[in-house]
Homo-oligomer: A and B are copies of this chain.
Amino acid sequence: MSLPNIAVLGATGVVGREILSILIENDVKYDKIKFLASKKSAGKKIEFKGEEHTIIEATPEAFEGVNIVLASAGGSTSLALAPEAVKRGCVYIDNSSAFRMVEGTPLVIAGVNDEDLRMHKGIVANPNCSTSQLMLALKPLHDYAGIKRLIVSTYQAVSGAGLAAINELTENTKASLAGQKFENKAFKHEIGFNVIPQIDVFTENGYTKEEMKVTNETRKILHLSKDTPISCTAVRVPVYRGHSEAVTVEFERPIDEAKAREILENAYGVEVIDDKENYQYPTPLYAASKDPVYVGRIRKNIAFDNAIDFWCVADNLRIGAALNTVRIAEKIIEMQLY
């Protein structure tokens, strides 16, 4: 099979830029590459591997001759463009939430449920950032002991909300330090020296969409039953990069702390940092711009007969978005599914 032609859609965004870095770091082999973005960015120049490229407007025709699209362009754009790309023979790897819960569309974390890629009909969905990191830690534990119930509280970085949010954290923090008033725009409340217990909009049951993504996407990725009890509280914290999660997972079968640690130490994409004597555990500042999902604070939960607690931190732009997109592309190439 010849090398694929690839396209990066949303090449100028926070995640798009990260995808470009990782394509280089991972030395992904392709024949031709295209950089696509909205009309607004079309015509602009972008540097990649030392060469200047012109950004092309993401019209349906722009997908002609492309084999794999790495897309981070927002839900409405993907809803409009993905079918056009598929019609033209592309495999469309989508970072938005548009297709994640569509029956028959694989929702994939590379290294967790690669086999689901085989059922793709053109579109492959990349899970929400807060789900992605959790899956790499949970999958091997689930294989061993079977997830019975899952409770998660998140501490999410602002970069998950895009460039305006990143800038707002800086401006808001500066204003607070100077004792000045600040008018928040990107967030519903001030984020400087504050935490905000809402990410995405509220749903009928009082949970936010972000929280229900953790519930629904986890069930789909791990092939759990549709009523597996999973509850999340998603909170924005004044951190630039790196989502953290306090995780309580109750299991069907016995598992002790030592076994959980052993499994996590051997898990794909996971690195354990858990040295209590030396105050070592993952923090978002440490995890920023790195690839692994870091896990620490592993302990037997004292509120259930058979549960493990851990603390899980990863770069939300990498494993939570760009890195998994590139890894999915690599799997698609390796498994010859394009």
Interface set of A (CB-CB < 8 Å, partner B): 149-151, 153, 155, 169-170, 173-174, 177, 188-190, 193-198, 202, 205-207, 215, 229-231, 233, 235, 237-240, 244, 246, 248, 257, 276, 279, 281-286, 296-304, 309, 311
Contact = CB atoms under 8 A, between A and B. Distances in A.
A193 B240 contact: yes
A244 B195 contact: yes
A221 to B, nearest CB: 17
Q: Is the interface of A mostly helix, strand, loop or mixed?
A: mixed
A302 B195 contact: no
A302 B193 contact: no
Per assembly, the copies of the chain total: 2
Contacts of A257: 206
B235 A155 contact: yes
Contacts of A297: 197-198, 206, 233
A84 to B, nearest CB: 35
A195 B153 contact: no
A256 B74 CA distance: 36
A231 B309 contact: yes
B151 A233 contact: no
Given A149-B303, A302-B215, A283 B189 contact: yes
Contacts of A231: 248, 301-304, 309
A240 to B, nearest CB: 6
20 contacts: A149-B303, A151-B151, A153-B153, A170-B177, A193-B240, A195-B244, A197-B244, A197-B281, A197-B297, A198-B297, A202-B276, A205-B302, A206-B297, A206-B309, A207-B302, A231-B248, A231-B301, A231-B304, A233-B309, A238-B239
Query: Of residues A150, A188, A233, A282, which shows the largest number of chain B Cβ atoms within 10 Å of its Cβ?
Result: A233
